[in-house]
Amino acid sequence: MLNRGIQPIAPSSIAITGEVRTPEGKEPYVVPRALRDDELPEIVAGFRKAAENTQAAGFDGVEIHGANGYLLDEFLRNGSNKRSGRYGGSFESRARLTMEVLESVSSVWGGNRVGLRISPLNSYNSMVDSDPIGLFGWLVARLNDFDLAYLHVMRGDFYRQQSGDVLTPIRQCYEGVLIGNMGYSGEEAARDIAAGKLHAVAFGVSFLANPDLPERFKMNAALNQPDPDTFYTFGPEGYIDYPAMTI
């Protein structure tokens, strides 16, 4: 499927496996067009412009999305980046685009108003890397130079195809604020923060299903279970119809 007739772009011409839901039904993913090196400055400029727009709109800061098979993640991982040259091959070359984006966005906001989200193990959008621990350990050590507001790490894999402990080596390498995400209970989050493994934990799906999640954690109350069939749908169902606690 083409997006309004526009072919998607990627580091290499590798399609996501499987099918995508469209208004006309399920269709196979199309093969993206590999970006040329001389096109990448325009990509970086786009991130800078977005940062300027958010600043003009009154935001407090921005989080750069480097996870889940989106463009920066595609460049980072060698399952999707088969390039050679300045933007492919070594850890340094595959991370070059991410570093350029961080430098550009930080020049607008200052590093302490910029966060970065990564997903070393997540196979969403057909993502994989042959050495995720080595790659992301190398990456986060270099993030120390940016004085970021935080590093936001998805610790697992939606599809459970890849596993491992990425947070321990990241904590060892990264000197800044570290936020964990994915599959935490309130108890585990509190325990890991108290132990100094993390500074904070981000909750997504459980917050969607529990509008009063902090109060439920405080009271050790049961949680509503999320309904995946209502994810990414139109209308209020699955977004604003989960019940709050009755006391």
Average per-residue pLDDT in the chain? 95
Q: CA nearest 170: which of 195, 142, 189, 202?
A: 142
| Mean pLDDT, rounded, for 198-207 | 96
Residue 80: predicted pLDDT:
98
CATH number of the CATH domain containing 56: 3.20.20.70
Please identify which of the residues 29, 70, 159, 232 carries the catalytic annotation.
Answer: 70
- Is pLDDT at 84 greater than 90 in this prediction? yes
Q: How do residues 6-63 score in pLDDT, each as one tens digit?
A: 899 999 999 999 998 777 788 899 999 999 999 999 999 999 999 999 999 999 999 9
Strands 19-22 and 25-28: antiparallel
Domain that holds residue 72: 9-202
Percentage of the chain exceeding pLDDT 70: 98
Residue 154, domain member (yes or no):
yes
Q: What is the pTM of this model?
A: 0.94
Q: CA nearest 202: which of 183, 218, 222, 215?
A: 183
Residue 138: predicted pLDDT:
97
Distance CA 24, CA 31 (A): 19
Distance CA 226, CA 206 (A): 7
Distance CA 245, CA 31 (A): 47
Residue 177: predicted pLDDT:
98
Residue 232, domain member (yes or no):
no
Indicate the number of domains in the chain.
1
Q: Catalytic: 70?
A: yes
Strands 114-118 and 150-154: parallel
DSSP conformation letters of the chain? --BTTBPPEESSS-PPSSEEEETTEEEEPPPPEEPPGGGHHHHHHHHHHHHHHHHHTT-S-EEEEE-TTSHHHHHHSTTT----GGGSSSHHHHTHHHHHHHHHHHHHH-GGGEEEEE-SS--TTT---S-HHHHHHHHHHHHGGG--SEEEEE-S-TTSSS----HHHHHHH--S-EEEESS--HHHHHHHHHTTS-SEEE-SHHHHH-TTHHHHHHHTPPPPPP-GGGTT-SSSTTTT-SPPP--
| Mean pLDDT, rounded, for 61-74 | 98
Residue 53, domain member (yes or no):
yes
Structure tokens that stand for 206 in this block: 């459980």
Residue 123, domain member (yes or no):
yes
Confidence of residue 205 (pLDDT cuts 50, 70, 90): very high
Higher pLDDT, 246 or 187: 187
Residue 215, domain member (yes or no):
no
- Is pLDDT at 1 greater than 70 in this prediction? no
DSSP bridge partners of 186: none
Residue 235, domain member (yes or no):
no
Residue 129: predicted pLDDT:
97
Residue 41: predicted pLDDT:
98
Residue 2: predicted pLDDT:
59
Residue 13, domain member (yes or no):
yes
| Mean pLDDT, rounded, for 54-80 | 98
Q: How do residues 86-135 score in pLDDT, each as one tens digit?
A: 999 999 999 999 999 999 999 999 999 999 999 999 999 999 999 999 99
Residue 59, domain member (yes or no):
yes
Question: Taking the CB of residue 6, how many other CB atoms lie within 10 A of it?
Answer: 8
